[in-house]
Amino acid sequence: MNAKLRTMLLLTGLTALTSLVAPVAYADQPNLLVVSDDADQETVPRNNRIFNRVITALGEEMNVQGWTVVDEVGAGLDITAQGKVRRGLPELIDIARAIRRPPIDAVVVFQIYASAKQSLNSDIYRPEARISGRVVNVRTSQMLGAFEVVERDLPVLPLGCYKDRECVLEQMGDHTRVLARDLGAALATKLANFRPGNPGQIGGPGPLPGPGAGAIVHAPADGCNGFPQAFTVILDGFNNQELTKAEEYMAAFKCFDHMRPVQVRASVSEYWYETQTDAARLNHSLRVMLDHMGLPGQISIAGNVVKVVKIGTR
C-alpha cells in the first residue's frame, strides 16, 4: 500500500471515529468551589460575620449566572477539619483536588479587606472595602480569570458606631455583600468568555515528537467551547505501531486542543492531554478507539489520570 493511499484511509477512519464520538452528549459545565484565602492577617477571617455574608453573596451570584457552585462545607465534610481559619491557597487547592463527589474543576478564591479610618478633621469614621478574587483550574493550576472590586466612597459610619462591634459588623457586612455580588458577576463573565490558547492547526494527524521536542496541537472543532480540562493519559502495553495509531486517534478526538509526551518507554507511554471536554466523553472516545483498533483493553479513571491498558492475548 503506497503512502498516499494509506493517508487517505487513515483520514477516513479518523473522520468516522470523530462522527461516532461527537454526538454523545455530556455535561461540560465545571464544578466550582468558592473558598477564601485568609492567610494574610490583614484579611477578614473565615470565622467573621462579614466573611459569611461575602461567601454567600459571591456563590449565589455565580449560581444565578448559570455556574455550578459546590458548597465547600458539605463537599469537604468527611475529608478535612471544619472551621479552620487562616488557610492559604496551597491548602485550599489540595482540599479541592481531594474532593471526589462531586469532582471539583476550579476554585474561586477571594480575599476580603475592610477597614474604617477616622477623619483628620473630625470624629467621623469612613469605611473602605476591597474584595479580590481569582479562578484557578484545580488540575492544571492555570488562572482562568481575576478581578477586584474596591469601594472607598462608602457612607460614613453612624455616630458612635465604631465603638460598637455589632454596628461595625452589620454596616461593613452590608457594603461587602454588594461588592461580593459585583465580583461574582465579573468572574462569571470571565469564565463564560474564557478560551484556551491554541497556536494553530496541524496539517493532518501524525505521530508525536519525542519527549521534550515540542507538542502537537489541533484547533478545536465548532461547538467545542467547554471548560478547559487536562488529563494524564497513560497507554500501557502498546507496541510501537499501536502507539503511533493511538496518538493519531487521540489527536482526532472532538474538542482536542493539545498534548505533549511526558514519558515514553517500550511498554508504557504517558501524555499530558488538554481538551475542552470532560472525563466521560474522553472515556467514551478511548473505548471507541480501542474498538476501531481491534484491541482488547481496560480503561480506568482516577481524578484526572486516565490509564488505558492493552490486554495481551496469545
* pLDDT surpasses 60 at 227: yes
- Residue 18's pLDDT is 45
% of the chain at pLDDT higher than 70: 81
Torsion sign (Cα): 285, 288, 292, 298: positive
Which ranges in the chain belong to alpha helices (H)?
3-21, 49-64, 72-75, 89-98, 165-192, 240-252, 279-293
Identify the band that residue 22 occupies on the pLDDT scale cut at 50, 70 and 90. Answer: very low
Rounded to the nearest integer, the mean pLDDT of the chain is 84
pLDDT tens for 273-303 read 999 888 888 999 999 999 999 999 999 998 8
3-state SS class at 146 = strand
SS3 48: coil
Rounded Cα gap, residues 108 and 265, in angstroms: 38
Asked if residue 138 lies in contact with residue 104, where contact means CB atoms within 8 angstroms, the answer is: yes
Residue with cell string 455580588: 181
pLDDT at 305 over 60: yes
The confidence score (pLDDT) of residue 10 equals 45
pLDDT at 199 over 90: no
- Kindly tell me if the per-residue pLDDT of 14 is higher than 60: no
pLDDT computed for residue 100 by the predictor = 86
Enumerate domains of the chain plus CATH numbers: 3-26+197-310 (no CATH), 37-192 (3.40.50)
pLDDT, tens only, 46-95: 999 999 999 999 999 999 999 999 999 999 988 998 889 999 999 999 99
Q: How many helices (H) and strands (E) does the chain have?
A: 7, 11
The alpha-helical segments, DSSP class H, found in 253-294 are 279-293
Asked if pLDDT for residue 115 goes beyond 70, the answer is yes
What global pTM score does this model have?
0.75
Would the pLDDT of 209 be above 50? no
pLDDT computed for residue 94 by the predictor: 94
Query: What is the band of 184 on the pLDDT scale with cuts at 50, 70, 90?
Result: very high
Ramachandran angles phi, psi of 198, nearest 5°: -145, 115
Q: Using CA atoms of 37, 40, 42, 48 in order, give the dihedral in degrees to the nearest 10.
A: 40
Joined grid coordinates for residue 201:
492547526
**23 against 173, higher pLDDT:** 173
> Using 50, 70 and 90 to split pLDDT, how confident is the model at 228?
confident
The closest of 305, 291, 299 to 249, measured between CA atoms, is: 291
List all residues 6 or more positions away from 61 whose beta carbon is below 8 Å from its beta carbon. Answer: 180, 181, 183, 184, 185, 188
Mean pLDDT of all residues in 231-251? 94
Residue 221's pLDDT is: 53
